[in-house]
Amino acid sequence: MNVSLLALIFVIWVAVVIFLRKTRIWLPYYVVSAVGCAYWLVLVFGNQLGLEPLLAHSVAWMVHITSNLLGIPTRIFEGAPGVLLVLVIYQDIGWTVLQVGLESSGMLEITVLVSLLLFYPGWTLFHRLRLILFGGIAMWVANILRMLVIVVMLNQFGKEALVLAHMYVGKAVFFVLVILIFWFIITRPTLKQLQKRQSQLRPMIS
Q: Are 151 and 91 in contact (CB under 8 A)?
A: no
The alpha-helical segments, DSSP class H, found in the chain are 3-22, 26-40, 51-69, 102-105, 107-118, 125-157, 162-163, 171-182, 188-205
Give the tens place of pLDDT for each residue, 33-46: 999 999 999 888 87
Give the other-Cβ count within 10 Å of 135's Cβ. Answer: 21
pLDDT digits (tens, 9 = 90+) for 91-119: 666 778 787 876 778 888 999 999 999 99
Q: How far is 21 from 35, CA to CA, in rounded Å?
A: 15
Cα dihedral: 26, 27, 33, 38 (round 10): 150
Interval 118-131 mean pLDDT = 91
> Mean pLDDT score of the chain, rounded to an integer?
85
Give the residue extent of every domain in the chain: 1-49, 50-205
Q: Cβ-count burial of 43 within 10 angstroms (0-12 exposed, 13-18 middle, 19+ buried)?
A: middle
pLDDT at 197 > cutoff 80: no
Instruction: Specify the pLDDT at position 73.
Output: 84
Beta bridge partners of 85: 78
